[in-house]
Chain A
Amino acid sequence: MIRLANVVKTFNSGKPNQFTAVDDVSIEIRPLNLTVLKGPSGSGKTTLLSLIGCMVRPSSGRIFLHGIETRFARHNESAGSFEITSLPERFLNEIRRSTFGFIFQQFNLIKGISVLENIMLPAYPTGENHTALHQRGMGLLERFDIKRHAPSKVEWLSGGELQRVAIARALINNPSILVADEPTAHLDSRLSHEFMKIVSELKSKGKTILIASHDPIVYDSEIADTVVEMRDGRITGRGHEE
């Protein structure tokens, strides 16, 4: 479970262009659920995702992770439950790598290298055995039906294929939480529905999923357990859908 308590993120603090993108947010994100962040552009969805995903630290407030195993936490008495805002950078990196899988709006794949290499990238810093990694990568490609593209450069792929590569990359380190920012922004409605199908499969396999989106295909989807509405950095509504 992820819990945010009075989290504030202010950019350019103290300068004339100071801007509070996330303002006093307190939510819980339940494990094994699909949570959708919904709201107009500029409402702070991406910023909130970065905060949860340990990419930036909040200006104030606290973020707790419960029931999450990381390599360093095992040697810690507070194993599985800690407050991430106070952790040193090194640990945040470790959490980001092992606990979260990210699917970015622009996919953020690296050009010039193959699909398979792109997928294996997040695992390189773990120093894992290459053959095992290679096998896992191929397994993921097969699962998303893009195995034949393994040696291709990402430049050649279509939008739907790119997205599946991005999903495969997010899953390579077997994270428990999947974070996606506007995952359907570049997809047509057929591909968006296909994406939601993949999400529902992943959910049924035990992933916690967090998506920021203003696409009704996502937030009106029947698999969304919770929809959190944001506006001007604040949470304005919280609905459950069955």
Chain B
Amino acid sequence: MALYTLVIFVLASLIFFVHAIKRESTTILREAPEMVVQRQLAGRHELIPIDYIEKIRSIRGVDKVEARLWGYYYDPVFGANFTVMVPETKQLAPGRIILGRGVARTQRISTGDMVTFRGATKASLLMTVQEVLDYQSELVTSDLVLVSRSDFQELFNLPQGHATDLAVTVANPDELATIAAKIADRLPDTRPILRSEILRTYESLFDWRGGMMTVILFSAILSFVIFAWDKASGLSADERREIGILKSIGWETSDVLLLKFWEGMAVSLTAFLLGTNLAYGHVFFFSAPLFEPALKGWSVLYPEFRLEPAIDFLQLAILFFLSVFPYTAATILPSWMAATVDPDAAMRT
């Protein structure tokens, strides 16, 4: 029962996760820059000097290069992590911030209030909340804090003339790969990341047909089969005795099977509901810690990844049929074999 629930849990987590990620990714990637250039230092993501913008822009075919600023802020009072970004589209005046819903809630503040942020140097920054973001916009996670460029610099004591990474737009999308190669060639300490590349990694990671998820899926199914087999291969002595007793007091084979059927249904339904509910919590409230390794690739581009609840009912229904029915069958089969024995066996137990 516990094992059964566990298997359902893993499978359902997988289904929820893959589905939610697929949905999320289409939204995010649609708005993501075609190419992001990051600087690498000793294999790690490093701040990129602003003068790289000019170097990249001078490459033929490059249309626009924009500096992006983002990072994490740890709030010691509330023990929460926020994602701080300088908005690319909105222009914010220094001293003004825009908050995600979650931040507003934990800090218990709303539009017009003042908040202090502890800067990287000793000085604190006093900010006025200009707006609280609507949660509807899917891209905006609730832990977001939008600040002006100068405030960002002051808050993190960012060295002048640096950005977190660069967003590059090209004139002709067909040339993306060539231009990426050129950038990598001219600026060996950078790493261009293409949106299409991310899409591809994403697909190989999360596609049902290939990648790590398949491995998880197969091991889960395998353990389920082993478990069902184990169940089908034998009844415990107690179960045998029970069936013998029922037969001896006038139950027919069909009555016994009906009982076993309901028993199997009850067990598998409970396990199914428990497993899927746990999986829901795992994926949508705890951001699927079990699948964390699969998410690593995402954190390069996107600060924090939180999944919006999304359920693919078709896949859930498939899981239902693939788990509840084999289990019920696995409980009925051996009972059927035992239920056909002569009832007098009960006289001698």
Which A residues contact B (CB, under 8 angstroms)?
A: 46, 49-50, 55-56, 90, 93-94, 96-98, 102, 104-106, 108-111, 121-122, 124-125, 169, 173, 181
- Interchain CB contact under 8 A, A125 and B348: no
- Write out the residue numbers on chain B whose beta carbons fall within 8 Å of the beta carbon of A94: 250
- Interchain CB contact under 8 A, A121 and B347: no
- Write out the residue numbers on chain A whose beta carbons fall within 8 Å of the beta carbon of B249: 97, 102, 108, 121-122, 169
What are 11 A-B residue pairs whose CB atoms fall within 8 Å in the complex?
A50-B344, A55-B344, A55-B347, A96-B343, A104-B248, A108-B245, A110-B245, A122-B251, A169-B249, A173-B250, A181-B347
B334 vs chain A, min Cβ distance (A):
18
B129 vs chain A, min Cβ distance (A):
61
Count of A-B contacts judged by CB separation below 8 Å: 57
Nearest residue, chain A, Cβ from B256? A125
- Interchain CB contact under 8 A, B344 and A93: no
Majority secondary structure, B binding face: helix
- Interchain CB contact under 8 A, A121 and B246: yes
Complex Cα spacing A107 to B342, Å: 18
- Write out the residue numbers on chain A whose beta carbons fall within 8 Å of the beta carbon of B250: 93-94, 96-98, 122, 125, 173
B255 vs chain A, min Cβ distance (A):
4
- Write out the residue numbers on chain B whose beta carbons fall within 8 Å of the beta carbon of A90: 252
- Interchain CB contact under 8 A, A93 and B252: yes
- Write out the residue numbers on chain B whose beta carbons fall within 8 Å of the beta carbon of A181: 347
- Write out the residue numbers on chain A whose beta carbons fall within 8 Å of the beta carbon of B347: 46, 49-50, 55, 104-105, 181
- Interchain CB contact under 8 A, A102 and B248: yes
Complex Cα spacing A49 to B343, Å: 12
Judged by a CB distance under 8 angstroms, whether B238 is at the interface is yes
Interface size, B (range): 10 to 19
Which B residues contact A (CB, under 8 angstroms)?
A: 238, 242, 245-246, 248-252, 255, 342-344, 346-349
- Interchain CB contact under 8 A, B349 and A124: no
Complex Cα spacing A181 to B343, Å: 15
- Write out the residue numbers on chain B whose beta carbons fall within 8 Å of the beta carbon of A105: 347
Residue from the list A55, A104, A169 in contact with B342, Cβ < 8 A: A55
- Write out the residue numbers on chain A whose beta carbons fall within 8 Å of the beta carbon of B343: 55-56, 96
- Interchain CB contact under 8 A, B342 and A108: no
- Write out the residue numbers on chain A whose beta carbons fall within 8 Å of the beta carbon of B245: 108-110
- Interchain CB contact under 8 A, B342 and A125: no
Complex Cα spacing A92 to B303, Å: 74
- Write out the residue numbers on chain A whose beta carbons fall within 8 Å of the beta carbon of B252: 90, 93, 125
Extra contacts, 15 of them, besides A96-B250, A97-B251, A108-B249 (Cβ < 8 A), are A46-B347, A55-B248, A55-B342, A56-B342, A90-B252, A93-B251, A98-B250, A102-B249, A104-B248, A106-B349, A108-B245, A108-B346, A110-B242, A122-B249, A173-B250
- Write out the residue numbers on chain A whose beta carbons fall within 8 Å of the beta carbon of B348: 46
Complex Cα spacing A104 to B347, Å: 6
A102 vs chain B, min Cβ distance (A):
6
Complex Cα spacing A97 to B37, Å: 82
Complex Cα spacing A77 to B248, Å: 28
A20 vs chain B, min Cβ distance (A):
16
Complex Cα spacing A121 to B259, Å: 11
- Write out the residue numbers on chain B whose beta carbons fall within 8 Å of the beta carbon of A125: 250-252, 255
- Interchain CB contact under 8 A, A111 and B248: no
- Interchain CB contact under 8 A, B344 and A56: yes
Complex Cα spacing A181 to B255, Å: 25
A179 vs chain B, min Cβ distance (A):
10
B55 vs chain A, min Cβ distance (A):
77
Complex Cα spacing A8 to B251, Å: 26
A91 vs chain B, min Cβ distance (A):
11
- Write out the residue numbers on chain B whose beta carbons fall within 8 Å of the beta carbon of A97: 249-251
Nearest residue, chain B, Cβ from A50? B344
- Interchain CB contact under 8 A, B346 and A124: no
Nearest residue, chain B, Cβ from A97? B250
Nearest residue, chain B, Cβ from A124? B255
Known contacts A108-B245, A110-B242, A124 near B344 by CB under 8 Å: no
Complex Cα spacing A173 to B250, Å: 10
A165 vs chain B, min Cβ distance (A):
13
B41 vs chain A, min Cβ distance (A):
66
A33 vs chain B, min Cβ distance (A):
22
Complex Cα spacing A173 to B246, Å: 14
- Interchain CB contact under 8 A, B251 and A124: yes
B258 vs chain A, min Cβ distance (A):
9
